[in-house]
Structure 1
Amino acid sequence: MPHWLQLMLDSLPALLWAGLKFTIPLTLLAFTFGLLLGLVTALLRLFAPRPLAAIAGVYVWVIRGTPLLVQLFVIFYGLPSIGVLLDAFPAALIGFTLNIGAYTSEIIRAAISSVPRGQWEASYSIGMSWSQTVTRTILPQAARVAVPPLSNTFISLVKDTSLAAAITLPELFQTAQRIVATTYEPLILYILAALVYLALSSVLTVLQARLEKRFARYGGFLEASK
């Protein structure tokens, strides 16, 4: 067996374990919390009083206007200078959550804005409150528009978690770096890490396509029922 293939086979279990232990949990938690933060931020920007909407807008502006790597460094390496010490995983989770929250808020805001005004008026005409209108009428329709870009954001997040290696989180890419430090075979290990990320992204892309088809059928049902 070629040396490079044997090295890949020997290293693959460690990379997969790092992915299961750190990369996947970090991705799922950060996207879940980020999506909730994005929804709240979008609603604040659309419907909150001007001061709250301005605060939400500044948050989006700052996060979207600065690199994710810099944000992670500020949280992990910068906050200890003012007495706030965080382990690598919570620091990464906070950083990715804030980042995802800003980007998903813009997706959700655009999706909500795309729902025709007549849907609001129709809901109010049958006695729905504002909260009922949002949860029962507006958000279900906005979700159909938001699913494709949100799915792309999730897939991108899987790959972006490799940046957590810079703050010592032993996720998939950091594990590859550690193996490189002992084997001195960077090309083979980094290609292997890339293949693992590619496999994860490919699976998620297939799931995304199925999810979009389901929402497309739901959208067709809504159009037919009008």
Structure 2
Amino acid sequence: MTLLQSAERSPTPATGGAPEPMPAAGALSWDERYPDDNLVVVPQRHPGRWAVAAVLVVLGLLFLRLVVTNENFGWATVGHYLFDSTILSGVWMTVWLTVVTMVLGVVLGIVLAVMRLSRNPLIKGAATSFIWFFRGTPVLVQLIFWYNLAILFPQISLSIPFGPTLLQASTNDLITPYVAAILGLGLNEAAYMAEIVRAGIASVDDGQQEAARALGMRDRKVTARIVLPQAMPFIIPPTGNETIGMLKMTSLVSVISLSDLLYSAQTIYSRTYETIPLLMVACVWYLLATSVLSLLQRRIERHFNKSRRSPG
């Protein structure tokens, strides 16, 4: 018998008249409405998850045991060369190349994204063609192309049209392996960053741009002060992924004899024939660098996502 049913059967007060009105059902607590119900909450079981987790733990331990106990990895050699001066020099070159190429890629990518959103068909077509070419050809091919640019143009000159030559130099002297690496990696990254920035700009409501233009703001100021700040939360995560990818992509410059981390390791094991230990040294440094970049990416994302968090 519920509380409402017992109230209906209760006798009328001795003073006579209508019975006192009972409070509405919605105003009563669960225990007052259903005093005889003793609910026992049983947590949902997930035996499948625990089974999969147990299998993964066992496989992880087996793999760790295989790596640690396998003497062919040469862990003593790994420890010996981990802080070798040649390796550290290669680490510095890898980090420096990543920073320079990403700065070039981000700056040029923003310019290309704005050009691609232009109403001028020539400007839009030029940006589209650039993105089409550099996204459609492999990075390794681009690196080799820039490294061998002297075959096409032995001399590079700067002159006034139909006027005197201001500067002339040998292409081999100007396009060093370092410059070829920056051009190959940076221009390729600019094509990808242009698409990332364009997608971020497209995520901003058009009404805000129209309101800014109604206030008399020019397109350049609207882009710099209205659109890009709001697009940053959508641009930062893929940019962080591109930076981590660029750190690893710099290993391709070893084909043009630039002393990055991988080339430095190759230089050593070509002399000592300890291929696997030196490759493990390179892997350790790549993993360390990508871990640091991942932490920086999370902090930057947290900073730009503050305005999107709901209060409380």
For 2:117, what is the secondary structure of its paired residue? helix
Aligned partners of 1:54 and 1:125: how far apart in 2? Answer: 28
Q: Report deviation, 1:219.
A: 2.9
Structure with the largest fraction of helix? 1
Evaluate the alpha carbon distance shift between residue 47 and residue 12 of structure 1 in structure 2; reply closer, same or farther with a 3 A threshold. Answer: same
SS at match of 2:305: helix
Say if 2:105 is the partner of 1:16: no
2:27 paired residue number: none
After superposition, where does 1:15-94 map in structure 2 within 5 Å? Answer: 15-20=87-92, 22-77=93-148, 79-82=149-152, 83=154, 84-85=171-172, 86-94=175-183
Structure 2 CA distance for aligned equivalents of residues 123 and 49 of structure 1: 21
Higher relative contact order, chain-length normalized (CA < 8 Å, sep 6+)? 1
How many residue pairs end up in the alignment? 219
What amino acid is aligned across from residue 185 of structure 1 in structure 2?
Answer: E
1:30-54 Cα distance to aligned partner (Å, 9 max, x none)? 1101111101111111015111211
Q: Deviations over 1:93-146 (max 9, x none)?
A: 111110110000000011111111111122123332222111110010111110
CA contact (8 A) 2:78 2:280 kept: no
Give the 3-state SS of the residue equivalent to 1:47 in structure 2: coil
Tell me how far apart the structure 2 counterparts of residues 159 and 172 of structure 1 sit (CA, whole Å). 10
Deviation at residue 188 of structure 1 after TM alignment: 1.0
User: Partners in 2 of 1:16 and 1:211 — Cα distance?
Assistant: 27
Tell me the equivalent position of 2:224.
135
Match of 1:6 in 2: 76
Q: Secondary structure at the match of 2:279?
A: helix
What are structure 2's unaligned runs of at least 5 residues?
1-70, 155-170
Say which of 178, 186, 192 aligns to 2:275: 186
Q: Please give the alpha-carbon distance, in whole angstroms, between the structure 2 residues aligned to 1:125 and 1:42.
A: 23
TM normalised by structure 1 equals: 0.92
Q: Which runs of 4+ in 1 moved over 4 A?
A: none
Query: Unpaired runs of 5+ in structure 1?
Result: none
- Could you say which structure has the larger radius of gyration? 2
- Residue 212, structure 1, aligned to residue 301, structure 2: yes
Give 1:218 shift. Answer: 2.7
Alignment-mate amino acid for residue 59 of structure 1: F
The aligned amino acid for 2:128 is G
Q: Which amino acid aligns with 2:88?
A: L
Task: Output the aligned Cα RMSD.
Answer: 1.6
Q: 1:11·1:179 contact (CA, 8 Å) conserved in 2? A: no
Q: Could you tell me how far 1:213 is from its partner in structure 2?
A: 1.3
- Matched letter for residue 24 of structure 1: V
Residue identity in the other structure for 2:274: E
**Structure 2 letter corresponding to 1:81:** I
**Partner Cα distance (1:122, 1:106) in 2:** 25
8 Å CA contact 1:69, 1:163 repeated in 2: yes
Residue identity opposite 1:16 in structure 2: L
Q: Indicate conservation of the 8 Å contact 1:27/1:161, yes or no.
A: yes
